[in-house]
A and B are shown apart, each in its own frame.
Chain A
Amino acid sequence: MSTNNEKRDTYYESIIKQGYSRRDFMKFSTYMAAFMGLESSMVGQIAQSLENTPRLPVIWEHYQECTCCSESFIRSNHPIVADIILDRISLDYSLTLMAASGHQAEAAKHDTMKKYHGEYILCVEGSIPLGDDGNYCCIAGKSAKETFLEAAAGAKAIIAWGSCASNGCVQAAKPNPTEATPIHKIVKNKPIIRVPGCPPIGEVMAGVIMHVVAFGRLPKLDRLGRPKAFYGKRVHDTCYRRPYYDAGLFAETFDDVNSKKGYCLYKLGCKGPMTYNACGSMKWNNGVSFPIQSGHGCIGCSEEDFWDNGPFYERTTKVPGFSVESNADTVGKVAAGVLAGGVAVHAVAANISKRKELMDRINRGKTNEKNIDS
């Protein structure tokens, strides 16, 4: 908790106070530069800015969510991430991790919001329900929407953690009973970084925050507001099973021996070819593995409406408006069959209806044939 009158420590100061050595600090800077995909020459710049920048006040709000984003974050690769970003970044309000509770916690949050108006970073985990006046999610007697708008008003930038805040995730799946809404649809006038994933990779989250901290501006975003450094490639394009895809070698079932050999899981419904994320290159749990490496296809958790994008274990193309069972190919085949039948009927009908005209022409043609001279 930051106290009001104290001068804020720089990141470097708080890291040293935590008992880390300068060597640890330099390692940390290097780690972060690598996560962000920066050149090694940028390490110095990161270290320098961490030495000189006062800690950034952060308010971390939780709405309709499962806290898996926070869980992922505290497991990110380097211990300093958890120690500094979470404990020491002056995380002024986070339901999961703050020491205060009840009125004190609310008071601390409002303090930060007032004192650092226009300076703090608002991190949002979870979607915001708009149905029934927002009554589906209330914290401290206020609806999520109310709390969010209040916190967003003074934020320098907003980070939408995870698929809930970015896309709505499972609670926004059809029929979306609570009208769960991602935050970029509620606040339009603030810079928003969307970091989708269920959860996002811890290192990605650290990388995004460190970018804001170290460079004082948002990372480069794509058209959907996702940091390009982490969401610029499909999982498929960085997948270690990709050579099997290009070779045309596909696992047919999960108990297929080829699946263990590393064959591509494309036909088992892997959504890697449609999913933008860094799983293939950064992996999970300190770079140990990621779903596809563990033998399970990607479920596309960082894509919009991934719960409504068809079954996880099939490669289908659902046709909107048709029953769950019918994919585009079934509908297409039936349509082609019906059409072929219709064409055949039309052909017969045409010969009957236009018979006179046809017979006339055929007779004229035959007469001409007889009169050919030479």
Chain B
Amino acid sequence: METKNFKRVMVWELPVRFFHWINVLTITTLALTGFLIANPPALQSSAEATNLHSFGIVRFIHFTAAYIFFFNAILRFYWAFVGNKYASWKAFWPFSNKLWNNFWHVLKIDVMLLNEDHPDVKNISVGHNSVATLSYLALFFLAAIQIFTGFALFADTSGWWLPKLFSWVTPLLGSDFMVRTIHHISTWIFILFSLIHIYLVFYHDWLEGRGVVSSMFGGYKFVREDRVIKSKKLPKKK
């Protein structure tokens, strides 16, 4: 059997890749510092409190990373309206038949590991597959929870109006206790998500061989030639 010809396709544009890697860095930082804040290690030091600020620094890193995470999310939201079709909000619209057909297909082939006699190449998504789409929607929701609960906890110690916009969250949930519990549990869901996410990237790269892992670095995925309509001319640069 001949090897199929593939075309290099720019799937993840630069802002999307930046968004992804900034998320990796900030979420890792936030989770690590978050666990330190929740359960600080015993510090063997005879220094006076005046001369130490270690816990303050941990919290400072947490808050800084949180702001970066937040503004990064805002930029991604903007890019959902100007980016390519894989970055567009339309790619995350969960109410289409196409998405749900693909969802069941992915469940059968990639989760239940069944095989098809006559695989249809169109079932392989160029961007996210539908299960991934839904998991990212869940993740956006989770990020919103972290932003709302995090800023709610931060609001009272901040003099800026931005965190104060979220100060209604605490009364809504009853008390800081509940807000903190939700903030903490959501962190664990991020970790569980990352486990599955990283595994599935490797899985697809290994089984489909079209550069899923490297796509988040260079932005390119490899798509079967017969799926790419031959364009008369490449669009000219303005």
Shortest Cβ distance from A305 into chain B, in angstroms?
Answer: 7
- The secondary-structure label for the interface of chain A is helix
**Do B177 and A303 touch across chains, with their CB atoms under 8 A apart?**
yes
**Do A267 and B38 touch across chains, with their CB atoms under 8 A apart?**
no
> For A319, what are the chain B residues with a Cβ–Cβ distance below 8 Å?
181, 185
Within B33-61, which residues are at the interface with A (CB < 8 Å)?
Answer: 35, 38-40, 42-43, 45, 47, 49-56, 58-59
Cα of A364 to Cα of B188 in the assembled complex, Å: 42
CB of B105 within 8 A of chain A? no
CB of A347 within 8 A of chain B? yes
Instruction: Report which of A243, A300, A310, A335 forms a contact with B50, defined as CB distance below 8 A.
Output: A243
**Do A339 and B192 touch across chains, with their CB atoms under 8 A apart?**
yes
Cα of A252 to Cα of B44 in the assembled complex, Å: 11
> For A364, what are the chain B residues with a Cβ–Cβ distance below 8 Å?
1-3
Among B66-74, B130-138, B167-175, the stretch that binds chain A is B167-175
Cα of A124 to Cα of B53 in the assembled complex, Å: 45
**Do A368 and B174 touch across chains, with their CB atoms under 8 A apart?**
no
Instruction: Report which of A248, A349, A357 forms a contact with B40, defined as CB distance below 8 A.
Output: A248
Chain A residue at minimal CB-CB distance from B109: A354
**Do A247 and B53 touch across chains, with their CB atoms under 8 A apart?**
yes
CB of A290 within 8 A of chain B? no
Instruction: Report which of B47, B53, B185, B195 forms a contact with A340, defined as CB distance below 8 A.
Output: B195
Is the interface on chain A under 10, 10 to 19, 20 to 34, or 35 or more residues?
Answer: 35 or more
> For B50, what are the chain A residues with a Cβ–Cβ distance below 8 Å?
243, 247
Chain B residue at minimal CB-CB distance from A237: B157
- The secondary-structure label for the interface of chain B is helix
Chain A residue at minimal CB-CB distance from B43: A248
**Do B184 and A328 touch across chains, with their CB atoms under 8 A apart?**
yes
**Do A300 and B177 touch across chains, with their CB atoms under 8 A apart?**
yes
**Do B195 and A339 touch across chains, with their CB atoms under 8 A apart?**
yes
CB of A361 within 8 A of chain B? yes
**Do B175 and A274 touch across chains, with their CB atoms under 8 A apart?**
yes
Q: List 28 A-B contacts (CB under 8 A).
A: A222-B171, A223-B171, A246-B52, A247-B47, A247-B49, A247-B51, A247-B56, A276-B176, A303-B175, A304-B174, A305-B177, A315-B39, A317-B180, A328-B185, A331-B188, A332-B187, A332-B192, A335-B192, A339-B196, A343-B199, A353-B115, A354-B115, A356-B115, A358-B207, A361-B209, A364-B2, A364-B3, A365-B3
Interface residues of B (CB under 8 A from A): 1-3, 35, 38-40, 42-43, 45, 47, 49-56, 58-59, 113-115, 156-157, 167-168, 170-171, 174-177, 180-181, 184-185, 187-188, 191-192, 195-196, 199, 203, 206-207, 209
